[in-house]
Amino acid sequence: MKNNRKFSFISAFWILLIFSTTSFAGTGATDDGYGSVLKVIIAVTAFLIAFVLWLVLVYAESNDAKGEKVITPFSKFIHSITQSVSVKDEDEILLDHDFDGIKELDNKIPPWWNALFYGAIIFGIIYMINYHIIGDGNVQENEYNQEMETAALQLELLSQSGALISAETVTILSNEVSLLAGKDIFVKSCAACHGMGGEGLVGPNFTDDYWIHGGGIKDMYRIITDGVPAKGMISWKSQLSPNQIQEVASYIRTLRGTNPPNQKGPEGKKWDFSQEETGSGIDLSDKGVGPVSSVTLSEIDDALVSSGKELFETKCSACHKVEKRFVGPAIRGVIERRSPEWIMNMILDPEKMVKENKIAKELLAEYLSPMANQSLTKDEARAVLEYFRTLTTKK
């Protein structure tokens, strides 16, 4: 009889094992999150069924119909974590006082509750030391800064690849490294038709104020990219990257007014350089919207510059770099592109500026990342402005 039961148990176990193996094989083809969960469920179910079959076999062999061999150890374990008194022994812990026939038992606090209580105290001490003594406690701020650094790195990679540069978003580069790279490209690829000094040969003169297809940076980027086949100007987009086209276009803009010898005569229409597109255009008359309506500038205050530089490095450098575009525009030359009032209003109330100011809206469309409000005071914003005054493109 016992051998038959053992045989039945072993047979059931092997059937269960085969079923589980088949199920795993079926879910292996789609080993995703759901497949993993299904595997765990099947494994747990198989274990429970095998355990129940084992209990049935043990009870059948020992005639333990009540299951005391399993229930007794389990009951002892429950008692060890609750320390409860059985109903028949409650008279030993019954207190003398009662209220309206209701009496009180002097039960001990369960050990599991004490474990949770003291564990919470220990956890609180460790948490306080870790986050407020050893660490700085600014958990959310640290996470935010880390995410901003990651986003800035991703944006930098995109910028280096040229994925963010187009005829609509291109801006004039003013840093020396980019202009030298643009000059090198110009000498190798453009000088044959436009002259070493941009004076014009087969192609037009770049040093005067007259342009056939527009003299803005966006116009130049478009012409270099697409070419002008009717005039013999080839498309350079297959030979130059978007970054290189931006660099050479920025360099060409520096040739204006250099007055080289043997200049070619004017061609096209005179271009109004006061509306040049640097970022979203130069408009020193736009004061923006916000708490600042007028700013008086005098001689640069070195103490104010030092304070503004410190504020910039602490509050702004995660998104803005001096020499290059990052999460936001490059800072050098901003005082030449924006009015002092506009700059301070953008620092103090970027949310309102983005909603109501045309240039701020265009910048958001270009950079895709809204400027964070750092909650600076007017005096602090004025100090940052003073620091920006030292970061000009003019030598």
Q: Give the 3-state secondary structure of 32-77.
A: CHHHHHHHHHHHHHHHHHHHHHHHHHHHHHHCCCCCHHHHHHHHHH
Torsion of CA 139, 143, 146, 150, to 10 degrees: 170
53's tokens:
């079959």
Please tell me what DSSP assigns to residue 313: I
Return the CA Rg of the chain: 39
C-alpha–C-alpha distance, residues 312 and 307, integer Å: 9
- Please list the residues that pair with 105 across neighbouring strands: 94
Please report, for the domain that includes residue 252, its CATH number: 1.10.760.10
Q: What is the DSSP letter of 119?
A: H
Tally DSSP H helices, then E strands, for the chain. 15, 4
Domains in the chain, number: 3
Whether 194 and 265 map to the same domain: the answer is: yes
Same domain flag for 258 and 392: no
Please check whether residue 38 lies inside any domain of the structure.
yes
Residues 248, 296 within the same domain: no
**Which of 243, 275, 307 is at the close of a domain?**
275
pLDDT of residue 233: 92
Q: Return the SS3 of 335.
A: helix
Q: Where are the beta strands (DSSP E) in 229-367?
A: 269-270
Burial 259-281 (b: 16+ CB within 10 A, else e): eeeebbeeeeeebeeeebbbbbe
Backbone torsions φ then ψ of 211, nearest 5 degrees: -135, 140
Residue 112 lies in a domain: no
Residue 119: per-residue pLDDT: 93
User: Using CB atoms within 10 A of its CB, is residue 369 exposed (0-12), middle (13-18) or buried (19+)?
Assistant: middle
Q: Does one domain contain both 158 and 292?
A: yes
pLDDT of residue 376: 93
Three-class DSSP category at 389 = helix
- Say if 205 falls within a structural domain: yes
Q: pLDDT (tens digit, 0 to 9) for every residue of the chain, 395 residues total?
A: 455 555 555 555 555 555 555 544 444 444 455 567 788 888 888 888 887 777 666 666 666 556 566 666 667 777 777 777 777 777 777 888 778 888 888 878 888 888 899 999 999 999 888 888 887 777 787 788 888 888 877 777 776 666 668 777 788 888 888 899 999 999 999 999 999 999 999 999 999 999 998 888 888 999 999 999 888 899 999 999 888 999 999 999 999 889 999 999 999 998 877 655 444 456 678 899 999 999 999 899 999 999 999 999 999 988 888 887 778 888 988 888 899 999 999 999 999 999 999 888 888 877 777 888 999 999 999 999 999 999 987 54
Same domain, 150 and 289: yes
- 102-105 and 210-211 strand pairing: unpaired
The CA distance from 302 to 310, in Å, is 12
**Do residue 289 and residue 251 come from a single domain?**
no
Question: What sign does the dihedral 156-139-376-357 (CA atoms) show?
Answer: positive
Q: What's the whole-model pTM score?
A: 0.41
Q: Is 131 a member of any domain?
A: no
Among 258, 275, 292, identify where a domain stops: 275
What residue type is assigned to position 291 of the chain? P
In degrees, to the nearest 5, what angle opens at C-alpha 300 toward C-alphas 299 and 304?
135
> In terms of domains, do 365 and 287 share one?
yes
Which among 275, 299, 326 is the end of a domain? Answer: 275
Domain assignment present for residue 357? The answer is yes
Indicate if 353 and 218 belong to the same structural domain.
no
Report yes or no on 99 lying in a domain.
Answer: no
Provide the greatest CA pair distance for the chain.
118
| Residue whose tokens read 């306080």 | 128
What is the DSSP secondary structure assignment for residue 212, as one 8-state letter? S
Residues 234 and 254 in one domain: yes
* 290 in a structural domain: yes
Residue type at 374 in one-letter notation: Q
Domain presence at residue 346: yes
d(CA 384, CA 395): 21
Q: Are 2 and 61 in contact (CB under 8 A)?
A: yes
Q: Where are the alpha helices (DSSP H) in 190-301?
A: 191-194, 217-226, 242-253
In this structure, the answer to whether residues 260 and 285 fall within a common structural domain is: no
Q: Could you tell me if 158 and 181 lie in one domain?
A: no
C-alpha angle 220/180/155, rounded to 5°? 70
- Domain of residue 210, residue span: 176-275
- pLDDT number for residue 29: 44
Does 230 lie in the same domain as 153?
no
